[in-house]
Structures are given as structure tokens and as C-alpha cells.
Amino acid sequence: MASVRRQPRRLESAVSICLLVLLLLIGLVIFMKQFDVDMSRFGIDTTPLNLPVQQIEAEIQEPVLEALTPDGFKKFSEVETYNTGNLYEKINGKAPLYIEAGFAKLFTQRFIHESDENLWMELFVFDMTAIRNAFSVYSVQKRADTRTLSFAGPGPCYRTSNGVHFVHGKYYVELIGSTESTVMDEAMIRIAEKFASQTAVDDEKITEFALFPEEDIIQDSFKLYLANAFGFEGFTDIFACRYNISDESITAFLSKYPDTQNAQTTAEKYCNFLIENDAVAKVANNAVLKNGNVKVLDFYGTTEIIFSTGPFVAGIHEAENQTAAEELAARLLAKLSKTAKIE
Amino acid sequence: MTEQTDNNLDRRQLLARAGKAGISIAAAGLISYRLYDKQGPGAGVNTESLVTLPDFRVPHKHGQTMSVVKGPDRKVTVNKALELLDGIERFVKPDETVVIKPNVAFASSPMLGATAHPELVAEVVRLCYKAGAEQVIVTDNPINDPSSCFTLSGIGKAADQAGARVVLPKEHLFRHTTLDGGKLIKNWPVFFGPFENVDKLIGISPVKHHARAGASMAMKNWYGLLGGRRNVFHQDINTIIAELAMMVKPTLVILDGTEVMMTNGPTGGSVSDLKRTNTLVVSTDMVSADSCGCTLLGLKVSDLPYLTKAEKAGAGATDYESLKPVFGTV
């Protein structure tokens, strides 16, 4: 009986081709993966940061920076764009501050005076994806020695002797001049005005500012710590602001949690954190604060006060004067308790 | 009658098929073996081609390890500080080639203190030539647009006018290195080219607050030598700075605390971030220089873990006062 080699069936050929294609795809993926350096072998955590707000980069619209060129100046560089992956190339060790606060993209451009090469400035537009994130990076970097600035933009703003800094919706914007000059000052303000008027943003508001008592408050002293406020990991979204009471500068803080239980637990944990770090409980002198929910602590000679009411955790941070600290804590407790009842 | 089955293979056909299958498996195995990278990602270089930065140190002189000079003018303070350590001639000999590595990390105005001051860099170049140096090279590896960084910081022009050769980073100037006993610097690209056939190395850095490290001073200045995706090291910033202090053995470091960036470092951006402290440190021990420099920022050695790590690794002493620094005022 003669044997004849069997021709492969059509199905067998199809399966073979599929398998070959699959193998090629696997090979391609392995090849591409080689270019993705795995830093975990160095013991470095490469887990993606859990950003407060994720935004698809492709959806981010690039603000038109070149159109902001002020009269008497010309562009000094092309627009540069950075994302979370390469922000460090521009701002090196400051990149984590932005990335951990929800940064999505940075757009920069330099402008130079048409007749004086010593006068140049750089515009930094940080897309922080939400106004809270933008305000956070603005507030924690705010300089102590600042000058007031008023322009058509609705957000918080200030200027230094060589720069302008402001929040416009989800954008945190910096204009940094090469030198101190009135020509530059005026040009930077013009850019700020143009940016604010030409860049549409959502009508978001930060409502927590209104939760602080108004009396004795130092205007524009608000800060927002998105995480690890006062060195405590559990403290997120902490708003702080300063007061001037009896010539003492006192910092009050608050944060709103999802529910009463969550707020109570966080307050207790923060209190324990302070005690673990050598804080010592002391007696409150102010009658309003003499309830079990308010903790007054001595922390290396300063007074810390912490309490929760409704969904709020609040208190006083590192006050030099206990009496003034307790007075402010009582006001804060009263206002937040009232708000909690309404809510 | 013919039968279309494989059931009646003869021995020859069976052996041929088995042979082909065996060869295929062996070839796949051989290719995989040849392509397998035992070093893992980031390496791609065999250990034989790894480089090590030379040791640029000069012999130790008791009581002349470090000088601290107070004064507002960098040119004057650096001259005085070197004079207190026996003069620039102790460090730079005739016909030598010297590399100066200033901090040129940002395309930032010199007024903002984010980079080494151009006047100071130029003065050190001039001093090296005065001591008889044949060539002085000024170099750094800013990741973002190096030419803009050298231009806008004023360092490129100042160095050029003082007669130095400015070397910008190019891909061919990078080689891989591994630090003995290092945890992070393993088979990592470093900016090695400018340091080949060089006799002496001088680091120049400002004193700055640093959001991640606490402070950026003489040791952190060597971060600029790292190539690749060096930002990953920010997650273990204390270890990488300590390892840089182990990897680089400079002739001396110059720490400029004439104006200190107290906040918002390392980029700053406002003169409001600066504080005039009128202090300049020159030292052959960079751990000591940084331990002294951190006091200008209101910090203690214990606030900067990389200092203790570097000391434990033998890179220098945190108790700088034990070195009996020479103080001066001009």
C-alpha cells in the first residue's frame, strides 16, 4: 500500500497561522517591554501614584501661550509641554510636589524684551485638573514677603518683586522674571490678565474657606494640604489659615470627612500621633473646650488643640499662647458645630 | 489505494521530523539564552565596559580640610577661603586639566539662586589658570535643554569669558558605572566623558532648600552626573545622595551660602525665597561642607539623613567642627 503525504486541512492551516501570529505578537510585546525599565529591582516603589483626580492627557487642551506675548516683548522659546512622566526634567526635585497634588500637564514659554536682552520671563501654566489641587500648590509655595495684586482673574493671586503667581480654575500659573523691573512687572500683569480672560475654566469654588470664623483672620493666609498635613499621614485635605489674636499669630485648621465616625476616628488618630511624638495632654482653661471631645496638648512648649464635630476635624496647630489658642478653638468649634447641625 | 493518514510514517520520516523539531527547540533555546539579560533592565552593558570615576582628591593636611569665610562678595570670599587652605596651588598644579562642575540644573536667572553663581564659577576658573592649569573645563548635565541652562544661568558666558571650555552633555559622553557596595548606582549611565584624562575636580553649588531632599548642596550637586531616567531616584533620595558622595571623590567643593534659597527649592523662582547669609565654604570633605551648610538653612545634621548615610559609608565627617575649620571674614 503506497503512502501519500497528507495535505494539511484548511482548518489546520488557519490554526497554525493563528498560532504563529500569536507567537509573533508575544515576541513583539516582549521586545517592547524591554524598553520599560523596571526600577523595582532597585527596591524603588514604582507603583503609580493614586492621584486625587485622574484625567486623560489627550483631553487636556493646551492653553495658547504665544498669544499672551505682551507689547514690547517677543517669544524667547517655543512652548514646552511636560507631563507626569517628564516633569522632573523641568523642575527636578519639585516635581513630586505637583504630581502628588494631581498634576496633569505643564506648559511653559519664555518671553524677552524686544530691546533689552536682560529682561526675560518664563510663564509656567500647571494644569492641576481641579481648583483644589491648583490652590494647594499655590498656597503651600506662597511666599511670605508678597505684594498685593489685583487683576481681572477671579482666583487667589500675589506678586513678588520678580514674579506673579495665581490660580485660575484648575490652573496654577507662575510668571518668573529674570530680574526686578517695573517694565517686567507691568508685562507680567498684562499676561496674567490676558490668560485669565482668555482661558475658560469650570466655575468651581472652594467652599471650606467660609467655614473658618471671620473675626481676626489674616486675609489670604489660607493653605490647603492635600496629604500628610503636619507630618501626619492620615491628615488629608486639611485647610489651614492664620489669625492674629492678641498680637499672636495662630494657625487654625479644619477638614471635612465623609461622616461623623470617620472624623472622630481621624481626630483620635492625630491625637495619638502627637502623643507618640512626646505631646502631653493638658487641661483646657476655656469652659467651652472642657468636653471629652476636645483634646488640648502641650507639644514641645506649643499648644495643639484637636476636636471633631459632625463630619469636621479641626483644631489649632503649634500655638505659642494657650489662652489665645483656646479662644480661637472655641470660635471654630462653635461655627463648625452650627454648620454640622445645618448640614 | 492510497491512504491520507500520518499513521504509516516510516522510520526515516519519523527521524527526520524528530530531528527538525529538535533543531527548532534547540535554536529557540539558544536564541533565548543569547538574548537573556542577566543584569536586567537599565543595564545592557557588560561589566567589562563599566567605568569608574577617578579619585581626584589631594593629600590630607591636618587642620586644613575646610574653611568658612563670611563676606558679601563671592570673588573675595572664595579667594580668602582658598588662601586659608594653603592656596589654590595646593589643589591645582601646573599643566593639569581641571573640571569644574557647577550646579547648572535650571534655565534660571542667576538672581534666583537656583544655580551656581556665574561670578563665582568665573573666579574659580581664573584661579585655576593662575595656578598653572593647562585647561579648565566647565560642565554639567541639566536634563532639560542644557544650552538654555548654561545661557540663562549666565554660567556659559562667564566660564567662556574666563577661558574655560564649556562641555554640554552629549549621548556619546555617557558611560555606565556601578558603585561598589551601592544599592542604586548599578550599571547606570553617568556623564563620564568630561572626566576622562582629567587631573582635578571642583564642585560648585549654592545652598538651597530642596522639596524632596530637604537641602541641595555639595553632595546633591553630583546628581547632575547621572544620566538615564534619574528622577526615579527621587523616591530614595537619601540613598542616592549618599551613593553619589561615595562615587565622586572631588579635589574640593565650594559651597556658596552668600544667598541661600530658604524655601521653594530646588527651583525657587522668587527673590523672596532667598536669604543673605554671606557665607562661603570650601572643603575637601563634602560631607563636612554640607553639614556646615545645612545650618544656614536652619537645619541640623539629623534633619538630612543622607549626611549620616554618607558618613557611615566613609565619604566624610558630619561633625565638621572636629576638622577644626579655618574661619575668616572679609
pLDDT score for A154: 61
Cα nearest neighbour of B142 on chain A? A89
SS3 label, residue B98: strand
pLDDT score for A38: 56
- With beta carbons less than 8 A apart as the criterion, state whether B271 and B112 touch: yes
Average pLDDT, chain B: 92
- With beta carbons less than 8 A apart as the criterion, state whether B267 and B284 touch: no
Q: Work out the pLDDT band at B32, boundaries 50, 70, 90.
A: confident
What is residue A32's DSSP assignment?
A: H
- Is A93 in contact with B144 (Cβ distance < 8 A)? no
**Residues 6+ away with beta carbon under 8 Å from A39:** A46, B42, B229, B232
Min distance A322 CA to chain B CA atoms (Å): 26
| Interface confidence (ipTM) of the complex | 0.78
Give the whole-angstrom CA distance, residue B270 versus residue A88: 19
Average pLDDT, chain A: 87
Q: Is the pLDDT of residue A92 over 90?
A: no
Domains for chain A: give ranges and CATH numbers: 57-198 (3.40.1000), 208-342 (3.40.1000.20)
Task: Determine what percent of chain B is predicted with pLDDT higher than 90.
Answer: 80
Chain B hits for A141, CB-CB cut-off 8 Å, are 263-264
Helical segments of chain A, H only: 10-33, 87-91, 95-99, 131-141, 182-198, 260-276, 322-342
- Is A162 in contact with B271 (Cβ distance < 8 A)? yes
What is the CATH architecture of B48-329? 3-Layer(aba) Sandwich (3.40)
Minimal CA–CA distance to B289: which of B248, B324, B326, B318? B318
C-alpha cell at B19: 530531528
- Is B186 in contact with A37 (Cβ distance < 8 A)? no
Q: Which of A65-74, A202-211, A242-251, B3-12 has the lowest mean pLDDT?
A: B3-12
> Under an 8 Å CB criterion, which residues of A touch B?
1-4, 6-7, 34, 36-39, 41-46, 77, 88-97, 120, 122, 141, 143-146, 160-163, 174, 176-180
A146: exposed, middle or buried (C-beta count within 10 Å: 0-12, 13-18, 19+)?
middle
The owner of cell 504563529 is: A20
Q: What's the mean pLDDT in A52-74?
A: 73
C-alpha cell at B306: 543622607
Residue type present at position B198 = V
Is beta strand A157-160 parallel, antiparallel or unpaired with respect to A248-256? Answer: unpaired
Is beta strand A73-75 parallel, antiparallel or unpaired with respect to B66-70? Answer: unpaired
C-alpha cell at B125: 576658573
Min distance B17 CA to chain A CA atoms (Å): 13
Q: pLDDT for A133-184, tens place per residue? A: 999 999 999 998 787 777 656 689 999 999 999 999 999 999 999 999 999 9
pLDDT score for A36: 61
Q: Work out the pLDDT band at B38, boundaries 50, 70, 90.
A: low
Residue type present at position A189 = I
- Is B233 in contact with A163 (Cβ distance < 8 A)? no
Task: Determine what percent of chain A is predicted with pLDDT higher than 90.
Answer: 67
Q: pLDDT for A295-307, tens place per residue? A: 999 999 999 999 9
Q: Taking the CA of residue B10 as centre, how many other CA atoms within 13 Å lie in the half-sphere pointing to its CB?
A: 6
Domain ranges of chain B: 1-36, 48-329
Give the whole-angstrom CA distance, residue A236 versus residue A255: 8
pLDDT score for A60: 62
Q: Which of A151-165, A210-224, A240-254, B154-168 has the lowest mean pLDDT?
A: A151-165
Chain A hits for B183, CB-CB cut-off 8 Å, are 42-43
Q: Work out the pLDDT band at A37, boundaries 50, 70, 90.
A: low
- With beta carbons less than 8 A apart as the criterion, state whether A189 and A164 touch: yes
Q: pLDDT for B185-194, tens place per residue? A: 999 999 999 9
**Residues 6+ away with beta carbon under 8 Å from B18:** none
Nearest to A176 among B144, B184, B269 (CB): B269
Q: Which residues pair with B206 in a beta bridge?
A: B256
Q: Which of A2-11, A89-98, A267-276 has the lowest mean pLDDT?
A: A2-11
Taken in order B66, B69, B73, B75, the sign of the CA dihedral is negative
Q: Which residues pair with B279 in a beta bridge?
A: B70, B257
SS3 label, residue A2: strand
pLDDT score for A264: 94
Q: Per DSSP, which regions of A20-79 are E strands? A: 73-75
Backbone phi, then psi, for A180, in 5-degree steps?
Answer: -85, 120
Give the whole-angstrom CA distance, residue A97 versus residue A137: 7
C-alpha cell at B300: 541640623
Chain A hits for B219, CB-CB cut-off 8 Å, are none
A128, A172, A212 from A101: Cα distances, Å: 7, 12, 23
What is residue A60's DSSP assignment?
A: P
Torsion angle defined by CA atoms of residues A203, B264, A236 and A233, in that order, rounded to the nearest 10 degrees: 170
- Is A4 in contact with B3 (Cβ distance < 8 A)? yes
- With beta carbons less than 8 A apart as the criterion, state whether B204 and B281 touch: no
Cα nearest neighbour of A36 on chain B? B41
A14, A42, A93, B212, B213 from B235: Cα distances, Å: 50, 11, 10, 9, 10
The owner of cell 489674616 is: A218
Rounded to the nearest 10 degrees, what angle do helices B286-296 and B305-312 cross at? Answer: 160
Q: How many CB pairs under 8 A join A and B?
A: 122
Q: pLDDT for B260-297, tens place per residue? A: 999 999 999 999 999 999 999 999 999 999 999 999 99
pLDDT score for A52: 43
- Provide DSSP, A236-269: -SEEEEEEEETTEEEEEEEEE-SSHHHHHHHHHH
pLDDT score for B49: 77
Q: pLDDT for B59-113, tens place per residue? A: 999 889 999 999 999 999 999 999 999 999 999 999 999 999 999 999 999 999 9
Give the whole-angstrom CA distance, residue B292 versus residue B255: 10
